Amino acid sequence: MIRIAQLSDIHFGDENLPAVEAATALLQSDPPDLVLVTGDVTRFAEVGELEAARDWLEQLPRPWLVTPGNHDAPYLAWIERLFAPFSRFERIIGPAWSQSHIDDQLVVAGINTARGAQWRLNWSKGQISRDQVRTAVSILDGAPATHLRLVALHHPLTEMIAGPMTAKVWGGRDAARAFSEAKVDLVLSGHVHAPFALPYPFADERTYAVGCGTLSVRERGVAASFNMIEVDPEAIRVKAMTWSGSQFEAYRTWSLDRRRS
């Protein structure tokens, strides 16, 4: 059994502190095999917010992997946002553009789908390039064929059905197709602040998009939450855990069939 905790959109500066502390305590008491944080660890990428995020990450059981989101580029320092959007993140948290993890059970390729600026009005939306896809597939292909294969990023590559907001990722559909053809098992994301699990409609339809809720006060129809993912040879089970105000409770569980070869 492989156990993965996925947390996202903590938005330090707007964090739901009791929920963050309770989630941290749960993970400390029963550490998973991996903790994945899929972006937007801050509100405006202010130095103090990034330092608070770093201090929180240091409390989580290792190993962990964190990839940035659109809120992790400075919102108020325009020159820095335009020319070095993730320099603060890299100085305080870690690598921004590509991350990876491999152990004896699973392999993860982390991708930055956020941009400091874009040729469209809404810079919060996502982008993924062909080079990023090729790099991720190369990382995954370097692991044994028996490993669980994961991609971690901030923006959902395809839209959540009836979701509270959109990601509108440039290159997203092509990337979802490429990951399906490469037999990726899960593509994990945040951004929409609501949990979901759905198959991509490509290849054998056994590559799944899994979205995570938020641990901030910026809720969008679902209480503060995070995902616990359990994987055995037959299935991948995604359990969204929501904050009741005093404890985390199971909100919804998805059981996803694994591919056979």
pLDDT at 198: 96
Euclidean distance between CA atoms 91 and 86, whole angstroms: 9
What digits encode the pLDDT tens for the residues 97-136?
Answer: 999 999 999 999 999 999 999 999 999 999 999 999 999 9
Average pLDDT over all residues of the chain = 96
- pLDDT > 90 in the chain, percent: 93
Q: Residue 78: which pLDDT band, with cuts at 50, 70 and 90?
A: confident
Q: Topology of domain 2-257, per CATH?
A: Purple Acid Phosphatase; chain A, domain 2 (3.60.21)
Kindly tell me if the per-residue pLDDT of 261 is higher than 70. no
What digits encode the pLDDT tens for the residues 215-253?
Answer: 999 999 999 999 999 999 999 999 999 999 999 999 999
- What would the two tokens of residue 56 be? 């929180």
**Structural domain boundaries in the chain:** 2-257
What digits encode the pLDDT tens for the residues 189-198?
Answer: 999 999 999 9
- What would the two tokens of residue 31 be? 């550490």
pLDDT at 77: 86
What are the φ/ψ torsions at residue 27 (nearest 5 degrees)?
Answer: -70, -35
